[in-house]
């Protein structure tokens, strides 16, 4: 427990706010250097990747003796901004079983558990390798995990140590962000013969959006898919007809739904209006068969932990898409992206023990 508190406190104490989310954010430079130094000091192999300057990821490896399976543990180093957090958000504060601070829950506790498990695995003299991918930019565009996979990192099984409250997550939703631009004709408000109202033109699409949302499918673990209007912008002043209205929407997708499916839905929203649509960003959903051998192994090591689904998106989708059986498993706590964030220290220590148990059996 002492080592858990010490390592997690050091990680929380390093500002790693994602600069793609917050102008002037510190990024992952300092925390990546700390992780690399800590791992090297433990005798672990370290590889630093930094295709985008200032956005490094670190891959830590406990090499096996050969002939065994490789286990990949993965966690992200970046955090969201500090918002309205009281006091110093990067000063880890322990209150009983809770450690408070930005990133403690999402997800530096999971990173700490993975690193401590990797160090323990090195002492077990396993045949297979245990790797920890400490990645950048999960909170925005997932530059880090994509760079790690592009560098050729592969494994026979992977655990993303996001905070799951001790559940083994076997599915999560994806998302598609789309921008719809409706065109009107700008004119003085007194000249209806010359103007065409782009905001009114967007109205039928908003009605269809509500109808689409009501009819979307459901998933046994994830609940129903969803779509909503996220942003709308149009017009310049009260005395003018708006020449353009821009509607941005988010569609949360279920396993089996594709970007092409969503783009067809968006085209139907537009109908016959003078408008165009563009997909801004898309991330695929994630799912693994709950009866998969790797799922059973992780659940067993975690004391037959229940399987569940998650509404949010994670880097697990990229790892699974690379052909690696993947689950999410991590500690409990609260306050992801909130003004009060904390993680359970006993949970974090328990996650470390579970990860070691998985490695001991899977990589033997």
Q: String of b and e for 177-197 (b: at least 16 CB within 10 Å)?
A: bbbbbbebebbeeeeeeebbb
- In this prediction, residue 155 has a pLDDT band, given cuts at 50, 70 and 90, of very high
Structure pTM?
0.94
Residue tagged 């109202």 (tokens): 197
On the question of a cis peptide bond just before residue 276, with omega within 30 degrees of 0, the verdict is no
> Which DSSP string do the residues of 252-276 spell out, in sequence order?
EE-TT--HHHHHHHHHHHHTTSSEE
Q: pLDDT tens digits, residue range 254-267?
A: 999 999 999 999 99
Asked if 223 contacts 216 with a C-beta cutoff of 8 angstroms, the reply is no
Asked if 79 contacts 26 with a C-beta cutoff of 8 angstroms, the reply is no
Tell me the C-alpha distance between 12 and 93, whole Å: 10
Helices 293-301 and 345-362, axial angle in degrees (round to 10): 130
Q: pLDDT tens digits, residue range 63-106?
A: 999 999 999 999 999 999 999 999 999 999 999 999 999 999 99
**Structure-block tokens of residue 230:** 């996220």
Topology (CATH level 3) of domain 174-283? Alpha-Beta Plaits (3.30.70)
Domains 2-172+285-362 and 174-283 belong to one CATH topology? no
Predicted confidence at residue 1, as pLDDT, reads 82
Tell me the C-alpha distance between 198 and 355, whole Å: 55
**Structure-block tokens of residue 31:** 């925390």
Q: Which of 339, 345, 335 is nearest to 87 (CA)?
A: 339
Q: pLDDT tens digits, residue range 8-45?
A: 999 999 999 999 999 999 999 999 999 999 999 999 99
Predicted confidence at residue 102, as pLDDT, reads 98
Q: Tell me the β-bridge partners of 279.
A: 178
Tell me the CA distances in angstroms from 181 to 29, 154, 235, 266, 331, one per residue in order: 38, 41, 13, 11, 43
**Assigned CATH class of 2-172+285-362:** alpha beta
Domain parsing of the chain, residue ranges = 2-172+285-362, 174-283
Tell me the C-alpha distance between 28 and 21, whole Å: 13
Residue tagged 């002037």 (tokens): 24
Helices 2-12 and 109-123, axial angle in degrees (round to 10): 130
202 pLDDT above the threshold of 90: yes
Tell me the C-alpha distance between 105 and 153, whole Å: 26
223 pLDDT above the threshold of 90: yes
Predicted confidence at residue 256, as pLDDT, reads 96
């Amino acid at each position: 427990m002492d080592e858990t508190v010490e390592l997690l406190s050091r990680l929380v104490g390093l500002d790693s706010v994602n600069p793609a989310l917050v102008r002037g954010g510190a990024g992952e430079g300092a925390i990546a250097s700390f992780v690399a130094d800590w791992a090297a000091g433990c005798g672990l192999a370290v590889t630093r990747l930094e295709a985008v300057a200032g956005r490094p990821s670190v891959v830590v490896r406990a090499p096996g003796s050969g002939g065994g399976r490789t286990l990949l543990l993965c966690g992200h180093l970046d955090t969201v901004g500090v918002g309205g957090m009281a006091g110093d958000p990067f000063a880890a504060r322990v209150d009983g079983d809770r450690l408070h601070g930005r990133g403690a829950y999402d997800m530096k506790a999971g990173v700490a558990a993975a690193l401590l498990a990797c160090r323990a695995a090195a002492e077990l003299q396993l045949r297979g390798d245990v790797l920890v991918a400490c990645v950048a930019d999960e909170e925005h565009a997932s530059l880090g995990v994509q760079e790690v996979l592009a560098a050729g990192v592969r494994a026979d099984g992977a655990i993303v140590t996001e905070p799951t409250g001790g559940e083994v997550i076997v599915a999560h939703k994806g998302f598609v962000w789309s921008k719809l631009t409706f065109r009107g004709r700008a004119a003085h408000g007194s000249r209806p013969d010359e103007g065409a109202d782009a905001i009114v033109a967007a109205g039928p699409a908003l009605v269809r959006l509500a109808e689409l949302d009501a009819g979307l499918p459901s998933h046994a673990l994830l609940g129903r898919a969803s779509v909503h209007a996220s942003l709308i912008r149009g017009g310049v002043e009260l005395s003018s007809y708006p020449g353009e209205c821009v509607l941005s929407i988010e569609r949360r997708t279920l396993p089996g739904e594709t970007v092409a499916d969503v783009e067809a839905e968006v085209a139907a929203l537009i109908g016959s209006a003078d408008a165009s649509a563009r997909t801004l960003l898309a991330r695929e959903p994630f799912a693994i068969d709950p009866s998969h051998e790797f799922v059973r192994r992780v659940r067993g090591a975690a004391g037959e932990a229940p399987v569940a689904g998650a509404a949010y998106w994670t880097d697990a989708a990229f790892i699974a898409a690379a052909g690696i059986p993947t689950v999410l498993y991590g500690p409990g706590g609260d306050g992801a992206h909130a003004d009060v964030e904390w993680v359970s220290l006993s949970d974090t220590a328990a996650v470390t023990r579970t990860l070691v148990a998985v490695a001991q059996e899977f990589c033997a």
